[in-house]
Amino acid sequence: MTATGVRFDVEAERRKLGAMTAGELRRRYQEIGGDEARSRNREYLIRRILWMLQAGAYGGLSARATSTASRAHLATSPVSSA
């Protein structure tokens, strides 16, 4: 179950995204993340979109995980600010 009590089906979402063109994936990425996707690589876009959807459904990283990732200089956001 997600933070909102709705079940998130990763495999079903993966199948939907897998059927999309690179252009459709870039639009979906922008809808979810708010930023334009710089990549045109389909697999990369699918992984990032799934990450963003899961973070939204399950509440993202905990404060402790975010802190640890920051100290390790890891990305803590599904969308790069660079």
pLDDT tens by residue, 46-79: 999 999 998 888 887 778 877 777 777 655 565 5
CA 2: distance to chain centroid? 15
Residue 70 dihedral angles phi and psi, to the nearest 5°: -65, -45
Whole-angstrom distance, CA of residue 79 vs CA of residue 35: 7
Verdict on whether the full-model pTM lies above 0.95: no
Kindly report, residue by residue over 14-24, the tens digit of the pLDDT: 999 999 999 99
Comparing C-alpha atoms, which of 75, 17, 82 is closest to residue 43? 17
Q: Which residues lie below 8 Å from residue 1, measured CB to CB, with a gap of 6+?
A: 7
**Each residue of 12-21: b (16+ CB within 10 Å) or e?**
ebeeebeebe
